[in-house]
Structure 1
């Protein structure tokens, strides 16, 4: 009996949360300002909507996925039916196995370190990292802001139409138009209003200057 190529096993999907793809990216040489070294990318196959979670240690991966699941299932009033990961230890372990058994979730595992087996994650990772790199270069911010750049890049990826009717992943996931009027330039100058309660100097500044990070 000949086994079918892995990529054909999740060729189509009809509903949100039917297939959820997970992958880890990192470690990065420079920790983020919140001490993260890796990030978890979560992709809904139908909408293409991507979520990124930042990890101080890779063992945090399961808790981040579980929290994502609770929020997503409550929001969309349906359940995750299948998760697709590679075979690295962060996904193939007792916590994930027990969770899938308890929730009745199918877990499809592709060969480790072979992103070509999962085009959804391969494209997502590449798009996010390329945009994040450009954001850091354009803003001239140091590498420690990589997590903020990745978060902004993920948001931007979700605003790009990916469907035949030109619908964005953001719109399919949130059921509303994306708030493009709120977009600002990553790394631009920002002003943070000083609360009146702590600003007793009537001749002092009314705001702190800062950097817009998304």
Structure 2
């Protein structure tokens, strides 16, 4: 018996939040700063605007979904109508199913071993991993900084214009940042030291790792003090960035996990 062909999407969307594609990326072989080993993606089918959340355990996914739902519905003024994901082992637990039903959200769980039916979410996760590997290969930062590279990748993808939504940020209640604000991830920068002896150097050479969500500034990592902080007045050295010294040891891969290991809740209870 041969597999049946995949003929395309079974539901077409006409507006924002009509359908959200979800995917949990399997445990990575390197822990990120903060102890994160998974990440969860939510992608709007209509605009392709996406959110990404880092997680220590897959059981955190349900809480992340509720946080995502509250934020996007408040920003846009629409309700999530449908949720599509693969058929992870405990996705169909009673807690999740009841929550979706109580909130009027139609659930679409793809059949086992049919990742093609969840193609948008699977493609988004794969794109994130490709972007993270690429960014990590051009920097001297350790692989444990992949979480910051992931946040950067998500921001860049959301800023990329689409034909139907040239400025997708505005539809999500987010003021779009200027492209001049973008910086090369992992690039060195001189930052002014906040404390120190009067004879010490007033500047430190740090690495840019993320944009600040709370303020207009950038997050930097100081390897000499092993500290992460946010500053605005800095001098970037992007022209001195060693783009030719590409690393060949970026082994950031998903670990193999048995089918049905995607945990949304602690005690799975399946519906017939």
TM-score tier after normalising by the smaller chain length: 0.7 to 0.9
Alignment of 1:1-214 (within 5 A): 7-10=8-11, 12-163=12-163, 165=164, 167=166, 169-174=168-173, 176-195=175-194, 199=195, 201-214=197-210
- Deviation at 1:114? 2.7
CA–CA distance in 1 between the matches of 2:109 and 2:88? 9
Q: Aligned pair in 2 of structure 1 residues 46, 166: CA closer, same or farther (>3 Å)?
A: closer
Q: Is the Cα–Cα contact under 8 Å of residues 6 and 110 in structure 1 kept in the other structure?
A: no
Partner of 2:230: none
Alpha-carbon RMSD across the aligned residues, in angstroms, is 2.5
Q: Aligned pair in 2 of structure 1 residues 90, 48: CA closer, same or farther (>3 Å)?
A: farther
CA–CA distance in 1 between the matches of 2:154 and 2:88? 23
Q: Is the Cα–Cα contact under 8 Å of residues 186 and 207 in structure 2 kept in the other structure?
A: yes
- Deviation at 1:97? 1.0
Q: Is the Cα–Cα contact under 8 Å of residues 30 and 144 in structure 1 kept in the other structure?
A: yes
Q: Is the Cα–Cα contact under 8 Å of residues 136 and 143 in structure 1 kept in the other structure?
A: yes
CA–CA distance in 1 between the matches of 2:41 and 2:57? 15
Q: Is the Cα–Cα contact under 8 Å of residues 17 and 81 in structure 2 kept in the other structure?
A: yes
Higher gyration radius (CA): 2
Q: Aligned pair in 2 of structure 1 residues 182, 84: CA closer, same or farther (>3 Å)?
A: same
SS in 2 for 1:212: strand
Q: Aligned pair in 2 of structure 1 residues 51, 24: CA closer, same or farther (>3 Å)?
A: same
CA–CA distance in 1 between the matches of 2:181 and 2:39? 25
Q: Is the Cα–Cα contact under 8 Å of residues 20 and 42 in structure 1 kept in the other structure?
A: yes
**Structure 1 gap segments, 5+ residues each:** none
- Deviation at 1:159? 2.2
SS in 2 for 1:9: coil
User: TM-score, normalized by length of structure 1?
Assistant: 0.85
CA–CA distance in 2 between the matches of 1:15 and 1:176? 20
CA–CA distance in 2 between the matches of 1:172 and 1:113? 34
Q: Aligned pair in 2 of structure 1 residues 185, 81: CA closer, same or farther (>3 Å)?
A: same
Q: Is the Cα–Cα contact under 8 Å of residues 192 and 207 in structure 1 kept in the other structure?
A: yes
Q: Which moved more, 1:149-158 or 1:184-193?
A: 184-193
